[in-house]
Amino acid sequence: MKNIIQLILKLLAKLILAKYRPEIVGITGSIGKTSAKEAIATVLATKFSLRSNIKNYNNEFGLPLTIIGAMAPGRSVWGWLKVLAGAVKLLIITDRHYPQILILEMGVDRPGDMDYLNKIIKPRVAVLTMIGLSHLENFGSLNKLAAEKKKIFDRLDKSGWAVINWDSERSREVLDEIKSRIITYGLDEAAEVRGTNLIFKFQEEDAEDELLGISFKIAYKEAYIPVLLPRAISRAAVSAALAGFAVGLTYDLNPVDMAIALGDFTPPPGRMNLLPGINGSIIIDDTYNAAPQSTAAALEILNEMNLKRGKKKWVVLADMLELGEASETGHLETGQIVAKIKKAQLLTLGQEALYIGIGARQAGMAEEAMQHFSHHREIIDYLSERLEPGDIVLVKGSQGMRMEKIVKGLLTEPERAAELLVRQGPDWEN
């Protein structure tokens, strides 16, 4: 039954695209897809009607559902009949409000995924964020994973655009193979759309009460355009904003207008979001997912924070899953990074996360600064007794580790969890 529904969704999605002919912005990468999608949508929404992936609908089911504009009804047969009827209605009766642009994440979890999605859509713009170790377990090698993700450019013609994160060495490798127009973005000086002069509010001494916002400049050609992201604290958010700006350039949008629009960009839940914690603490919620690269980036930000005397930085990390043979090394190296953070206390959860503690210990972290736990509740109780005003708590782990449960347990307003955190729907609760 599942395969039949999948085939019907694919067919209906292709027919809808053929009828309405929306322009498509496709996005893939191991890290930063959703944030890039949100930034791109923020920029393009100033001039166009658009739709982007609903929730994390980026696979063989989710992508057609986004094209149709429907939610997955779970196991309800009646619900699926309604979805299919809605798609048929789009084909019979023209919807004058169908989006001009579809912004579609294209998830790659296993070999063949991109081939399947490429059979459904033909993007005008294809965005490659960063290629890392996520889902490596299903591919066996980073080269095979990278090769699958790079297939996003296969359906671009010469009039299309490839938008590539220059900061990712693996992403850059594809440049010579692309026949379409290319624009690169990143923090590296060689990027065409470059982020520079980053200023984090918390870099000011004793400024933990103002842990909101990044100001930076976008260097493009001869211009330096100031941007303020008042709701972000990570370089990943800057990278997403640069991706949005780069895609906007492919649509000939005004650079100043785009910079102003980016002021409304909010990173999706679970991506380095600042939240108020119990006892006057501040939570950095980075619980959407975890890979060695994204965890290292989060730890780098935490390391740069200046705290008042006596305050602590609590690093709460869980297993990074689907790393295959790279798992032990990835966790050990993460621990070594943690050990370099002053005033840090390391709390770990999960079997693989034991290697984080080993790596931290090897790098000289004191034994009394580390604790390992078996359950989310244990960490919540431990921190509830120890957090003080001005302490910072970074929480991060793979999706399967459900680290948002810890964030919810530490929120000053846990009743707002559905609004603030990832994975709060009934399917996840059950």
For residue 369, the domain's CATH number is: 3.90.190.20
Asked whether residue 148 carries a pLDDT value surpassing 70, the answer given is yes
Pairing of strands 214-220, 193-200: antiparallel
Who contacts 7 (Cβ-Cβ below 8 Å, separation ≥6)? Answer: none
For residue 333, count CB atoms less than 10 angstroms from its CB and return exposed for 0-12, middle for 13-18, buried for 19 or more. Answer: middle
Report pLDDT digits (tens) over 246-267: 999 999 999 999 999 999 998 8
Orientation angle between helical segments 33-44 and 235-250, nearest 10 degrees:
50
CATH number of 166's domain: 3.40.1190.10
Q: Is residue 135 located within the same domain as residue 41?
A: yes
Does 247 map to a domain? no
Phi-psi map region of 91: left, alpha, beta (phi>0 left; psi -120 to 50 alpha): alpha
Q: Is residue 182 located within the same domain as residue 48?
A: yes
Q: Is residue 152 located within the same domain as residue 292?
A: no
Q: Which domain holds residue 29?
A: 2-187
Q: Is residue 157 located within the same domain as residue 291?
A: no
Work out the pLDDT band at 201, boundaries 50, 70, 90. Answer: low
Work out the pLDDT band at 212, boundaries 50, 70, 90. Answer: low
Q: Is residue 32 located within the same domain as residue 163?
A: yes
- The gap from C-alpha 300 to its chain's centroid, in whole angstroms, comes to 17
Average pLDDT over residues 198-227: 76
Does 248 map to a domain? no
Least confident of 24-28, 41-45, 229-233: 229-233
Q: What are 381's two structure tokens?
A: 């109780």
Does 268 map to a domain? no
pLDDT at 74: 86
Average pLDDT over residues 52-79: 92
Residue 355: half-sphere exposure toward Cβ, Cα within 13 Å? 15
d(CA 191, CA 237): 17
Residue 183: half-sphere exposure toward Cβ, Cα within 13 Å? 22
Q: Is residue 278 located within the same domain as residue 377?
A: yes
Q: Is residue 286 located within the same domain as residue 161?
A: no
pLDDT at 134: 67
Of the three residues 165, 187, 209, the one that is the final residue of a domain is 187
Q: Is residue 277 located within the same domain as residue 181?
A: no
Q: Does residue 404 contact residue 396 with C-beta atoms inside 8 Å?
A: no
pLDDT at 56: 79
For 40, the 3-state DSSP assignment is: helix
**Which sign, positive or negative, has the C-alpha torsion 260, 49, 81, 107?**
negative
Who contacts 361 (Cβ-Cβ below 8 Å, separation ≥6)? Answer: 335, 339, 367, 370
Report pLDDT digits (tens) over 376-425: 999 999 999 999 998 999 999 999 999 999 999 999 999 999 999 999 97
Q: For 248-300, give the DSSP string.
A: HHHTT--HHHHHHHGGG--PPTTSSEEEEBGGG-EEEEE-S---HHHHHHHHH
User: Please, what is the average pLDDT of the chain?
Assistant: 92
Of the three residues 187, 209, 241, the one that is the final residue of a domain is 187
Q: Is residue 167 located within the same domain as residue 293?
A: no
Nearest to 335 by CA among 374, 313, 364: 364
- The gap from C-alpha 328 to its chain's centroid, in whole angstroms, comes to 23
d(CA 28, CA 41): 15
Nearest to 127 by CA among 248, 231, 304: 248
Q: Is residue 173 located within the same domain as residue 281?
A: no
Does 409 map to a domain? yes
Share of the chain above pLDDT 70, in %: 96
Of the three residues 187, 215, 240, the one that is the final residue of a domain is 187
Work out the pLDDT band at 202, boundaries 50, 70, 90. Answer: low
pLDDT at 136: 72
d(CA 289, CA 304): 22
Q: Is residue 13 located within the same domain as residue 141?
A: yes
Does 213 map to a domain? no
pLDDT at 208: 46
Three-class secondary structure assignment of 336-364: HHHCCCCCEEEEEECCCCHHHHHHHHHCC
Domains identified in the chain, total number: 2
Q: Is residue 283 located within the same domain as residue 151?
A: no
